């Protein structure tokens, strides 16, 4: 029964994830954190990090991760299948229609009007993850609860990605090494 629930949950995610992987993050968060309680917000942030570090689309990686956590390999297969099935069907239909009607102004207008909504969904997921990473939860937001090391690390990563166009994988590795090094510093000075 849990496999069917995972399939249905990620079928809805796959069906409404317009705009790509990051646009699906609020939908996945709503399903696995808010609706079903399968993950805490901290675990969800870890899920996004792990899904970003592994090859493949973030939504599919997330579905596989949640499926394994909840019901093992059968759960992973059910969640992943649910996530990709709508995209396979929809892309086949849209490709056929797009090739036939791609020059229509109305179609181009519809596609253009979806862009701001997709950007808003991505920004919403990013803000939620930033709050969890720096403060833990919305209720804990205050200067006293701010993890300033993570804020500085976040800003350095933004500069490396935007200004220096550094490879995102390298930025993630450097951030992990930097945080590990910072965590070990007091231990080095104590011994």
Domain positions in the chain are 2-116
What pLDDT sits at residue 138?
85
The answer, yes or no, to whether residue 19 has pLDDT greater than 70, is no
Mean pLDDT of 87-113: 86
- How much is the pTM? 0.59
Instruction: Please give the pLDDT value at position 89.
Output: 93
**Mean pLDDT along residues 134-142:** 88
pLDDT tier at 177 (50, 70, 90 boundaries)?
very high
Residue % of the chain over a pLDDT of 70: 96
pLDDT of residue 80: 95
* Length of the chain in terms of residues written: 191
Does residue 84 contact residue 11 with C-beta atoms inside 8 Å? no
> In this predicted structure, what is the pLDDT of residue 191?
55
pLDDT (0 to 100) of residue 105: 87
What's the mean pLDDT when you consider all of the chain?
Answer: 89
pLDDT band at 190 (very low <50, low <70, confident <90, very high): low
pLDDT of 129 strictly over 90: no
Residue 20 in this model has a pLDDT that exceeds 80: no
Cα separation, 28 vs 116, whole angstroms? 20
- Residue 23 has what pLDDT? 75
Per the CB < 8 A criterion, the answer to whether 160 and 172 are in contact is no
pLDDT digits (tens, 9 = 90+) for 24-80: 888 899 999 999 999 998 899 888 888 877 888 888 999 999 999 999 999 999 999
């Amino acid at each position: 029964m849990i496999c069917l629930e995972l399939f249905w949950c990620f079928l809805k995610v796959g069906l409404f994830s317009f705009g790509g992987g990051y646009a699906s993050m609020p939908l996945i968060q709503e399903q696995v954190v808010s609706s079903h309680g399968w993950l805490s917000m901290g675990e969800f942030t870890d899920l996004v990090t792990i899904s970003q570090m592994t090859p493949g689309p973030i939504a599919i990686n997330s579905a596989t991760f949640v499926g394994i956590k909840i019901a093992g390999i059968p759960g992973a297969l059910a969640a992943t299948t649910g996530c990709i099935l709508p995209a396979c069907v929809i892309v086949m239909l849209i490709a056929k229609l797009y090739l036939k009607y791609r020059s229509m102004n109305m179609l181009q207008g519809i596609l253009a009007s979806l862009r701001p909504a997709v950007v808003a969904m991505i920004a919403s997921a990013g803000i939620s993850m930033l709050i969890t990473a720096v403060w833990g939860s919305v209720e804990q937001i205050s200067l006293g609860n701010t993890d300033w090391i993570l804020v500085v690390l976040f800003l350095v990563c933004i500069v490396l990605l935007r200004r220096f166009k550094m490879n995102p994988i390298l930025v993630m590795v450097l951030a992990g090494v930097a945080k590990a090094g910072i965590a070990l510093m007091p231990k080095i000075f104590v011994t």
